[in-house]
């Protein structure tokens, strides 16, 4: 006989007011000016190496050499390769968060919820496709992939918009949001675009169709 799922040990999150969350771990204390400059120099070197050689060949040793610092400096600043990749994606992720939390409509406030969902998925698909290798390389292990800060803030935003569409009383908004988020998974986007040869336009059209089918017909 199958066993029931264990109850969540965490208090349910609020999905009404998403807040800006950064992708990489925040600094414990504000960086000194010289430390901030060193961090920026390391990220510039890493970005240059990614552009020249690709994500797969990016190493902590390579970044240290390109930035003319000791390897230990890179490890102290970013922890490991995954932390470095997360830091590289930080700017992109925070810019996206600002856009859907407080930017202009239809991605930001001011448009109907369904239109905002359409815009959200379209922009997420474009950003991921543009930086697909980096998103794939920075993908956290399976036990953390649904609890990272960027995933949670995106998920909370989708939940909020789904609730604003006025779902039926029997709709499980959180599970529906998880289903929609699955469509935006970098691994799936990579499979569909690179292995199946699907165009970005087809994926965006599929997203809009999935949203429309998920929320049901709108009142006339």
Tens-digit pLDDT profile for residues 129-146 = 988 988 888 887 888 889
Q: Point out the least confidently predicted range of 4-8, 39-43, 122-126.
A: 4-8
Please determine, for residue 204, whether its predicted confidence score (pLDDT) is greater than 70: yes
Judge if 171 and 115 occupy the same domain: yes
Domain that holds residue 130: 81-215
Q: Is residue 26 part of a domain?
A: no
Asked if residue 120 lies in contact with residue 93, where contact means CB atoms within 8 angstroms, the answer is no
Judge if 191 and 172 occupy the same domain: yes
Secondary structure letter of residue 219 according to DSSP: P
Judge if 74 and 164 occupy the same domain: no
Question: DSSP of 57-103, one letter per residue?
Answer: G--HHHHHHHHTS-HHHHHHHHSSHHHHHHHHHHHHHHHHHHHHHHS
Q: Is residue 11 part of a domain?
A: no
Mean pLDDT of the chain: 85
Secondary structure letter of residue 185 according to DSSP: -
Give the chain's domain count: 2
pLDDT in the model for residue 142:
83
- pLDDT tens-digit readout, 39-48: 888 988 998 8
Secondary structure of 126-159 as H, E, C letters: HHHHHCHHHHHHCCCCCCCCCCCHHHHHHHHHHH
The CATH number given to whatever domain includes residue 39 is: 1.10.10
Judge if 68 and 86 occupy the same domain: no
Please determine, for residue 26, whether its predicted confidence score (pLDDT) is greater than 70: no
Report the chain's C-alpha Rg in angstroms: 19
Sign of the four-CA dihedral 137, 143, 144, 146 = positive
Q: Is residue 10 part of a domain?
A: no
Report d(CA 69, CA 54) in Å as an integer. 21
The CATH number given to whatever domain includes residue 142 is: 1.10.357
pLDDT in the model for residue 40:
84
- pLDDT tens-digit readout, 65-78: 999 999 999 999 99
Judge if 74 and 143 occupy the same domain: no
Judge if 56 and 163 occupy the same domain: no
Q: Across residues 177-203, what is the average pLDDT?
A: 97
Instruction: Record the tokens describing residue 188, joined without a space.
Output: 């799936």
Q: Is residue 8 part of a domain?
A: no
Judge if 189 and 99 occupy the same domain: yes
Q: Is residue 103 part of a domain?
A: yes
- pLDDT tens-digit readout, 45-63: 998 898 888 888 999 999 9
Q: Is residue 9 part of a domain?
A: no
Judge if 56 and 88 occupy the same domain: no
């Amino acid at each position: 006989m199958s066993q029931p799922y264990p109850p969540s040990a965490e208090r349910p999150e609020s999905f009404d007011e998403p807040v800006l969350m950064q992708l990489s771990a925040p600094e414990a204390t504000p960086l000194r000016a010289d430390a901030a400059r060193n961090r920026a120099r390391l990220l510039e070197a890493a970005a240059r190496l990614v552009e020249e050689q690709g994500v797969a060949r990016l190493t902590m040793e390579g970044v240290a050499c390109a930035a003319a610092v000791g390897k230990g400096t890179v490890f102290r600043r970013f922890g490991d390769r995954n932390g470095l990749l997360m830091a590289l994606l930080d700017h992109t992720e925070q810019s996206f968060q600002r856009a859907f939390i407080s930017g202009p409509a239809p991605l930001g406030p001011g448009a109907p919820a369904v239109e905002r969902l359409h815009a959200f998925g379209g922009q997420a698909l474009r950003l991921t496709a543009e930086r697909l290798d980096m998103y794939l390389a920075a993908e956290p292990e399976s036990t953390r992939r649904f609890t990272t800060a960027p995933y949670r803030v995106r998920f909370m935003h989708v939940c909020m918009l789904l609730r604003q569409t006025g779902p039926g009383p029997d709709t499980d908004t959180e599970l529906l949001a998880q289903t929609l988020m699955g469509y935006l998974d970098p691994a799936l986007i990579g499979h569909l675009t690179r292995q199946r040869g699907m165009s970005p336009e087809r994926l965006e059209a599929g997203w809009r169709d999935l949203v429309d089918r998920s929320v049901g017909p709108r009142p006339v």
